[in-house]
Amino acid sequence: MGLLETIRVADGCFVNLDAHLRRMVESCRELYGIERRFSLDNTAVPLEMRKGRVKCRIRYDGCAEKMEYVPYSPKQVRSLRLVECNGIDYHLKFADRSGLENLLSRKGGCDEILIIREGLITDTSYSNVVLTDGKRFVTPDSFLLNGCRRRQLLAQGVIQEEQITPDDLTKFTALHLINAMLDLGEVVVPINEIVF
């Protein structure tokens, strides 16, 4: 089973690179039982990908890796459908996303899904989430994947962790999608656009 890492490149420079490399090492240790080291710096970015926001996607396993760079622009997400799945496991960033894609097929007329596992809010199919009531920013403690951007915002004290149920959603005004490519405030869904 292969793994995937997505790293943001901004004007030719990797963003939050140490956190991504650390996650790759930890994932190899857990999944393959090996101490694999990864080396990556800004000189790896192709010249034609050194302007604007670029997605660096690394597929890797215990011994090989494949990198690709693609220009990135956020997809528009204006509505979310709550989808329940108790059996999903995505605690490592697996390259095989078929379980998430199957859940995504249940989005109906909405743009994206918000996954409930064991009665708790977790993530969308491709991002962690942060909820706000206009004063504070809260991320579910029941995440599927502890994303690098999520960890960074927690360490900086920008967001706090909390247990969040579907009933708790009405306490908030908006939901932000965050991941390596998305900053807080970039893709925001009003709470009344979450379909139960």
User: How many domains would you assign to the chain?
Assistant: 2
Whether residues 38 and 135 fall in one domain? no
Parallel, antiparallel or unpaired: strands 182-190 and 174-179: antiparallel
Same domain, 30 and 97: no
**The domain that contains 98 carries what CATH number?**
3.20.10.10
- Local confidence pLDDT in tens for the 196 residues of the chain: 799 999 999 999 999 999 999 999 999 999 999 999 899 999 999 999 999 999 999 999 988 899 999 999 999 999 999 999 999 999 999 999 999 999 999 999 999 999 999 999 999 999 999 999 999 999 999 999 999 999 999 999 999 999 999 999 999 999 999 999 999 999 999 999 999 8
Do residues 179 and 124 share a domain? yes
Specify whether 113 is located in the same domain as 186: yes
Amino acid 135: pLDDT: 95
Q: What is the pLDDT of residue 92?
A: 96
Q: Quick one: 185 and 89 in the same domain?
A: yes
Do 41 and 92 fall within a single domain?
no
* 138 shares a domain with 61: no
Q: What is the pLDDT of residue 4?
A: 97
What is residue 1's predicted lDDT score, i.e. its pLDDT? 78
Q: Are residues 134 and 50 in the same domain?
A: no
Instruction: Name residues whose C-beta falls within 8 Å of residue 81's C-beta, 6 or more positions apart in sequence.
Output: 106, 107, 108, 110, 112, 113, 114, 194, 195
Q: Please check whether residues 100 and 179 belong to one and the same domain.
A: yes
Q: Are residues 97 and 184 in the same domain?
A: yes
Query: pTM of the entire structure?
Result: 0.95
Per-residue model confidence (pLDDT) at position 61: 92
Nearest to 177 by CA among 125, 106, 107, 105: 125
The answer on 52 and 124 residing in a single domain is: no
**135 and 112 part of one domain:** yes
Structural domain boundaries enclosing 18: 3-71
pLDDT of the residue at 189: 98
- Domain end residue (candidates: 42, 71, 100): 71
